Amino acid sequence: MNSFDVESNQNIDLTDCRTMPVVALRGIVVFPKMNLHFDVGRKKSIEALKAAMDSDQEVFLVTQKDAGVDDPKVDDVYRIGIVCKIKQMLKIPNSNNLRVIVEGEKRAELVSMVKNKPFMLALISVISTENSEPDYKDVAYSRALKNEFETYAASYSKISNEVIAKVISLKDLDELSFYISANTFLDYTQKQELLEENNSKKRVRRLLALIRNENLTLKIETELQTKVQQEIDKNQREYFLREEMKVISDELGDYDNPLEEADEFKQKINALNCSDDIKEKLLKEADKLMKMPSGSHEGTVVRTYLDKCLEIPFGKYTKDSINLEKSRRVLDRDHFGLDKVKNRIIESLAVLKRNPEYSGQIICLYGPPGVGKTS
């Protein structure tokens, strides 16, 4: 006889051990008083159900640890499962599969495996729940769990009003926690964890934490979807407005279309070899131009600014060769007067020649009017 290394558990009544056919479920956890229908196709499971029907119609349903295992052994299933009553078993037409309806009765522990073929037959022991005396905490636990589940159910249309009404009517903590666990979309490993917890208050606390985490995740997902939808709506609105303005411009014979002009500027800006901060600033100016009449004074200022910025050779550098005498000759040759400006430029070049790493001075020599080139 193969057996588990079973730890001592004072809640297991070893005198209530009995052998029972076992069916391993994939990704499904059954709870007490839970009605479940499922299809069975594996030969061992079909044989186990037939054996159960030939006796007292009771079967031990236990969840596989890995749903991908096709021929589960004793080490492939969880230790805690549910003794279920088979309510109905039908053969599916044109198939060897069975459709089964069961009702969960009691939690039980798989103590040892009696045999594995032609079906799994195990020695199981029914688990008695730790039933403490009801106190004021039970009401608080129950109310908190019900409120959290109502919030959770509001996000899932698949959870019916009948389920919500049933939850509201339940008073026993064990029954409430098992019923809610069965009617959530938690992962089967989380449900198995809840099934194995023997203390009702600990189970409720764990279930509360899981549902609250789900509610928080759903809230974040909803907010994200709302933001994405708002962005899509905004882009669609801008697109339609752009198309309308193009049509109006064409009808009026206005060939200086600000939308097309702004788009052209944006393409040139995106092609610049400059930082993202500079691009963002220039793109904002292009957006302003898009909203201005083509002949307005403000539009002319923005166009001039963008044209000048686009002429700046971003990302192109020359090798410095500082010759103060030559610089002075070039300044005197190309510019009449402006002695203070020339002297300031020569001073700056002298400092830079003495200390090439010095970067505390900026002399603006290029740009539109009014940006401080002279001053």
Q: So what's the pLDDT on residue 2?
A: 40
pLDDT in tens, 297-323: 787 888 888 888 888 888 777 776 777
Do residues 73 and 94 both lie within one domain? yes
Both 191 and 274 in one domain: the answer is no
Q: What CATH number should be reported for the domain holding residue 141? A: 1.20.58.1480
Q: For residues 237 and 329, state if they share a domain.
A: no
Q: What percent of the chain has pLDDT over 90?
A: 40
Per-residue pLDDT tens digits for 220-255: 988 988 888 888 888 888 778 777 766 766 665 554
Share of the chain above pLDDT 70, in %: 83
Rounded Cα distance between 41 and 60, Å, is: 17
216 plus 280 within the same structural domain = no
User: Are residues 361 and 289 part of one domain?
Assistant: no
Record the tokens describing residue 108, joined without a space.
Answer: 């039980």
Q: pLDDT digit string (tens) for 155-208?
A: 888 899 999 999 999 988 999 999 999 999 999 999 999 999 998 899 999 999
Are 59 and 117 within one domain? Answer: yes
Same domain, 298 and 345: no
> In the prediction, which pLDDT does 371 show?
67
Query: Once rounded to an integer, what is the mean pLDDT over residues 45-53?
Result: 92
Domain boundary among 126, 152, 167: 126
Q: Write the single-letter amino acid at 216.
A: L
Residues 293 and 185 in one domain: no
Provide the pLDDT for residue 7: 40
Please check whether residues 151 and 248 belong to one and the same domain: yes
Domain with 113, as residue range(s), is 2-126
Q: How many domains does the chain have?
A: 4
Q: Which residue among 95, 126, 157 closes a domain? A: 126
Could you say which of 232, 252, 272 is where a domain stops?
A: 252
Residues 246 and 272 reside in one and the same domain = no
- Could you tell me the pLDDT band of residue 360, with boundaries at 50, 70 and 90? low
d(CA 303, CA 266): 12
Q: pTM for this one?
A: 0.59
